[in-house]
């Protein structure tokens, strides 16, 4: 994780990271449904 300000990354980048993980999991689930 790269932070441009001290302690500022926990609030801003945490939500973005969670959103990316959720979208990635949804993509895997949808992909598994299409492959089966």
pLDDT value at residue 13: 59
In angstroms, the Cα distances linking 33 to 19, 21, 22, 36 are 21, 19, 17, 5
Model pLDDT, residue 11: 56
Q: What is the pTM of this model?
A: 0.52
pLDDT, tens only, 1-36? 555 555 555 555 567 888 999 999 999 999 998 887
pLDDT at 3: 52
């Amino acid at each position: 994780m790269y932070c441009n300000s001290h302690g500022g990354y926990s609030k801003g980048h945490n939500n973005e990271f969670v959103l990316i993980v959720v979208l990635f999991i949804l993509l895997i689930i949808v992909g598994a449904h299409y492959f089966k």
